[in-house]
Amino acid sequence: MVDITHKSNTLRIATAQAIVKVSSQATIDAIQNDTVPKGNVFAMSKAAGLLGVKKTPELLPDCHPMPIEFTGVTYEIEDLTVLIKVTVKTIYKTGVEVEAMHGASIVALNMYDMLKPIDKGVEIQTIKLLQKKGGKSSFPVKNVAELVGGIIVCSDTISKGIGEDKSGKLIKEKLDGFGLQTKEVTIIPDDIEMIRSQVLDLKETCNLIVITGGTGISPRDNTPEAVLPLIDKRLIGVEETIRRYGQERTPFAMLSRSVVGTIGNRLIVCLPGSSKGVVESLDAILPHLFHGYTVLKGVRQS
């Protein structure tokens, strides 16, 4: 089963269809007049489809169990065919397209089972996904290649050559992976004036400045104090997203003082110093944070 623990919950919607074709108008009439010997075809097939959606992870080994928060089943009759549509919704980390397709197939199979005593020519046709929404594919971020990233590591020990910088390298790998141009990582001590000076220097050439370290509560954690006076607009929602995402993974995330905001038309993000905290924070906000740059430019994104 694929690891989805790094993903965030979003609204996921999928609609699938299946087609049942009968061989005579008499079968269609029996469905519409509720004279099929096994019972009401539409009602019983809908009930079967609802169960099919819920039981998808029990039958398909790579599908994740998830809360199914809506399932809708509709029918349309066109000549000798019944068009079945199944829509499934959830707020979760992965999509529901397989659940929708499974539900549609079960609706069709139940209709086949109910109709075969009166129509030996019943066929199931064209089970397919019609549309899906949710996840990263529904929120594309454009013009990322225009961004230039600057990375600052705030650490007294690493700046003295004690220990190895892992967090700065991880940030660079993440940003490079999204197609940004990134400058080499700058390592400085946990000093307020040095942090401010480095931020002001990078903002001349970088659209995005990412700082790691100094966001905790120890005596030498000074990054928020250094950065906040420089910020024009604080992005509280981004900060909340980082802490919420971290809190779902470790109780110590509540002690983080991550700061995010704008300096002119630049974005600045202050992250924890640990490599685990950096990766989790970036997973929480990327790539959607890049949309902020589009907004800062005054360009509407379709």
Query: Active site includes 119?
Result: no
The predicted model gives 109-137 an average pLDDT of 94
The predicted model gives 105-115 an average pLDDT of 98
Domain span at residue 200 reads: 144-296
Q: Is residue 64 part of a domain?
A: yes
> Do 35 and 178 fall within a single domain?
no
> Do 222 and 240 fall within a single domain?
yes
> Do 22 and 124 fall within a single domain?
yes
Q: Which CATH number does the domain housing residue 21 bear?
A: 3.30.70.640
> Do 58 and 126 fall within a single domain?
yes
Give residue 300's pLDDT: 55
Residue 68 to residue 65: CA distance in whole angstroms: 9
pLDDT at 302 over 70: no
Give residue 299's pLDDT: 57
Mean pLDDT score of the chain: 94
Residue 56 to residue 254: CA distance in whole angstroms: 36
The predicted model gives 155-170 an average pLDDT of 94
Q: What is the DSSP string of 22-49?
A: -S-HHHHHHHHTT--TT--HHHHHHHHH
Q: What is the DSSP string of 128-159?
A: EEEEEE-SGGGS----GGG-EEEEEEE-HHHH
- Asked whether 69 and 90 are in contact (CB, 8 A), the reply is yes
The predicted model gives 68-89 an average pLDDT of 98
pLDDT at 70 over 90: yes
Number of compact structural domains in the chain: 2
Residue 212 to residue 270: CA distance in whole angstroms: 6
> Do 35 and 126 fall within a single domain?
yes
Instruction: List pLDDT tens digits, range 234-277.
Output: 999 999 999 999 999 999 999 999 999 999 999 999 999 999 99
Question: pLDDT confidence of 96, banded at 50, 70, 90?
Answer: very high
Residue 245 to residue 232: CA distance in whole angstroms: 25
Peptide bond into 224 cis (omega under 30): no
Residue 264's alpha-carbon distances to 204, 248, 289, in angstroms, are: 11, 32, 16
Residue 254's alpha-carbon distances to 18, 175, 223, 246, 261, in angstroms, are: 48, 25, 17, 8, 19
> Do 206 and 122 fall within a single domain?
no
> Do 209 and 175 fall within a single domain?
yes
**Structural domain ending residue among the three candidates 96, 118, 135:** 135
Among 3, 29, 79, 113, the active-site one is: 113
Instruction: List pLDDT tens digits, range 46-56.
Output: 999 999 999 99
**Structural domain ending residue among the three candidates 71, 103, 135:** 135
> Do 99 and 214 fall within a single domain?
no
> Do 239 and 276 fall within a single domain?
yes
The predicted model gives 156-170 an average pLDDT of 94
Q: Is residue 23 part of a domain?
A: yes
The predicted model gives 188-217 an average pLDDT of 96
> Do 149 and 260 fall within a single domain?
yes
Q: Which CATH number does the domain housing residue 233 bear?
A: 3.40.980.10
> Do 131 and 152 fall within a single domain?
no
Helices 275-285 and 236-247 cross at an angle (nearest 10°) of 120
**Cα four-point dihedral sign 283, 285, 287, 290:** negative
> Do 18 and 102 fall within a single domain?
yes
Give residue 294's pLDDT: 82
In the block, residue with structure tokens 């694929």: 2
